[in-house]
């Protein structure tokens, strides 16, 4: 067996038995096989959950600052393997190396931020109506948490979940996306280096519809923390309801940038192009629609098209490249069919619009469509690719209505120089993240992250608010 075989990590050791065939991990920039990953069989999924379940009682009683100490160590080891980890992500899913390095930084910061929670995890005291009685409310861990994560941020989104789960006293079974199993393996090695006791964090790979599904349904999994598509999130929520499992769901989006006629158009175009096309548009917070007041539509469009045409496309390992490939062939064909359907429905192609055939990988031209009506599919469905739809609005009110009409509510930008419209927009926009004069994809550590409507189930990640989905409240009355 060669070096690049991603094994399962169960109960503190790497599994050497592979019951089922190994699956290939492909570099989307050149279609080369970069390694293989194991598919957990039913028994291995069960063992992973049982190992987390047995580790739970001791881990839960380990003092929180001691639990946090492992996360500080993980941050150090992660910093030491930054290049290696970033390069693996670029090869495995295609994002350009500077973005991948940025993602490793997010993991390091998340480890430290959540480690600091080990000295907080604050509870509350409440005055009692009885004489000689103390009332205390404390956060209790939940148990085994199944962390199921997507490929677009192979390690950052996992760190949001795992670090929060661990510091609050839960144990974890992590099922990463198949597309990025090898990147997940490196992060698991880092957690191993940090010295977590056996069973506290386990890694199982394999297809979502089998391994992920079985994991989520296991009776010893107390809570499911999922980031991915709304469709899969809905199925997991239904399954969780049968067993009354706790859930946290970070799902899809159809994010817009609203540009009012008084906006700084150069700044708006800059932010829009970056948020639309970085990570090849494969971000849950990518700008996918521009809703612009009609008076400035043409001026904004010219700026956006110029900037889009200047983007350098290629293998994300090469310096100077702005945009890498799509993650796989399937995604490439989905993106292209959205564009073809939009054009057939009357949209106008401003730039891009087809796969790039003189490169070996799954590359697609960054695409701008104008003349898009608010009801068209391309203006309402998540595409997850480098496609930007420009929709015209009569005025502020119409722009807000168009923004709010989709089933999603993750992230919205509003560009205006007016305090009046900035404040109204912050109030009227139905999104969990609102950016005034900035791009839709600029999340910061320490700030609650999550979406309204079908972009989530109300849970939040990243800030201390993530603790609400990783703990339950226990109220303790002491009469003396």
Active site residues: 250, 284
Please report whether residue 382 would count as binding ligand NAP according to CB under 6 A. yes
Among ligand NAP, Mg ion, none, partner that 250 touches (CB below 5 to 8 angstroms by kind): ligand NAP
Among Mg ion, ligand NAP, none, partner that 193 touches (CB below 5 to 8 angstroms by kind): none
Which H/E stretch holds residue 453?
strand 452-453
Please report whether residue 279 would count as binding ligand NAP according to CB under 6 A. no
Among ligand NAP, Mg ion, none, partner that 411 touches (CB below 5 to 8 angstroms by kind): none
Segment 146-165, which members bind ligand NAP (CB under 6 A)? Answer: 148-153, 157
How far apart, in whole angstroms, are the C-alpha atoms of residue 332 and residue 315?
16
Among the listed residues 27, 170, 171, 178, the single contact to ligand NAP using CB under 6 A? 178
Non-local (6+) Cβ contacts of 353 within 8 A are 339, 343, 365, 367
Closer to Mg ion by CB, 41 or 92: give it: 92
Q: Say if residue 349 is exposed, middle or buried (CB neighbours under 10 Å; 0-12, 13-18, 19+).
A: middle
Among Mg ion, ligand NAP, none, partner that 266 touches (CB below 5 to 8 angstroms by kind): none
Contact between residue 9 and residue 203 where contact means Cβ atoms under 8 Å apart: yes
Contact between residue 271 and residue 306 where contact means Cβ atoms under 8 Å apart: no
Please report whether residue 378 would count as binding Mg ion according to CB under 5 A. no
- Which of 17, 28, 62 has its CA nearest to residue 315? 28
366: left (phi over 0), alpha (psi -120 to 50) or beta: beta
- Which of 130, 203, 124 has its CA nearest to residue 162? 203
Closer to Mg ion by CB, 30 or 371: give it: 30
Please report whether residue 162 would count as binding Mg ion according to CB under 5 A. no
- Which of 267, 277, 322, 255 has its CA nearest to residue 300? 267
Could you give the strand order of the β-sheet that contains 144-148, starting from the edge strand earlier in sequence?
Answer: 13-14, 9-10, 201-203, 171-175, 144-148, 221-227, 246-250
Please, what is the minimum distance in Å from the beta carbon of residue 325 to Mg ion? Answer: 9
Closer to Mg ion by CB, 26 or 111: give it: 26
User: How many residues are there in the chain?
Assistant: 480
Segment 173-212, which members bind Mg ion (CB under 5 A)? Answer: 179
Interface with Mg ion (CB under 5 A), residue total 3
Q: Interface with Mg ion by CB under 5 A: which range of 24-32, 67-75, 223-231, 414-422?
A: 24-32
Please, what is the minimum distance in Å from the beta carbon of residue 229 to Mg ion? Answer: 18
Residues of this chain that interact with ligand NAP (CB under 6 A) are: 148-153, 157, 175-179, 207-209, 212-213, 216, 227-229, 232, 235-236, 250-253, 284, 382, 384, 410, 451, 455
Residues of this chain that interact with Mg ion (CB under 5 A) are: 26, 92, 179
């Amino acid at each position: 067996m060669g070096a690049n075989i991603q094994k399962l990590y169960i109960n503190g050791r790497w599994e050497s038995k592979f019951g089922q065939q190994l699956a290939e991990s492909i570099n989307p920039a050149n279609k080369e096989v970069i390694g293989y990953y194991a598919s957990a069989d039913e028994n291995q999924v069960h063992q992973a959950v049982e190992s987390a379940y047995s580790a739970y009682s001791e881990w839960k009683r380990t003092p929180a600052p001691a639990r946090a100490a492992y996360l500080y160590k993980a941050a150090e080891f992660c910093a030491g393997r930054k290049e290696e980890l970033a390069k693996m992500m670029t090869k495995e899913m295609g994002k350009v190396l500077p973005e991948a390095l940025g993602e490793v930084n997010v993991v390091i910061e998340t480890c430290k931020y959540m480690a600091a929670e080990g000295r907080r995890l604050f509870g509350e005291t409440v005055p009692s109506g009885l004489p000689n009685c103390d009332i205390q409310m404390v956060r209790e861990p939940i148990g085994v948490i199944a962390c199921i994560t997507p490929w677009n941020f192979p390690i950052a989104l996992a760190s949001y979940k795992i670090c929060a789960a661990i510091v609050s006293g839960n144990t974890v079974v992590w099922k990463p996306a198949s597309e990025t199993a090898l990147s997940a393996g490196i992060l698991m090695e880092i957690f191993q280096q940090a010295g977590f006791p056996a069973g506290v964090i386990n890694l199982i790979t394999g297809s979502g519809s089998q391994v992920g599904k079985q994991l989520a349904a296991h009776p010893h999994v107390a809570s499911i923390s999922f980031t991915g598509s709304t469709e899969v999130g809905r199925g997991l929520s239904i399954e969780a309801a049968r067993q009354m499992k706790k859930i946290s769901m970070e799902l899809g989006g159809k994010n817009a940038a609203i540009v009012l006629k008084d906006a700084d158009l150069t700044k708006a175009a800059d932010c829009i192009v970056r948020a639309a096309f970085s990570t090849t548009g494969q971000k849950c917070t990518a700008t996918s629609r521009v809703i612009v007041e009609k008076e400035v539509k043409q001026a904004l469009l010219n700026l956006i098209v110029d900037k889009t045409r200047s983007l350098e496309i290629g293998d994300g390992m090469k310096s100077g490249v702005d945009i890498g490939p799509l993650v796989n062939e399937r995604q490439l064909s989905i993106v292209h069919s959205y564009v073809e359907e939009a054009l057939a429905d009357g949209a106008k192609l401003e730039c891009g619009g087809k796969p790039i055939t003189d490169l070996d990988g799954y590359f697609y031209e960054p695409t701008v469509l104008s003349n898009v009506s608010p009801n068209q599919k391309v203006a309402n469905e998540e595409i997850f690719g480098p496609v930007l739809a420009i929709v015209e609005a009569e005025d502020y009110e119409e722009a807000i209505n168009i923004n709010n009409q989709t089933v999603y509510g993750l992230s919205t930008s509003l560009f205006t120089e007016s305090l009046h419209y900035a404040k109204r927009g912050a109030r009227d926009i139905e999104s969990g993240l609102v950016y005034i004069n900035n791009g839709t994809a600029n999340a910061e550590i320490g700030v609650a992250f999550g979406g309204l409507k079908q972009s989530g189930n109300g849970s939040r990640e990243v800030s201390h608010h993530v603790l609400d989905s990783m703990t339950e409240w226990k109220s303790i009355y002491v009469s003396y």
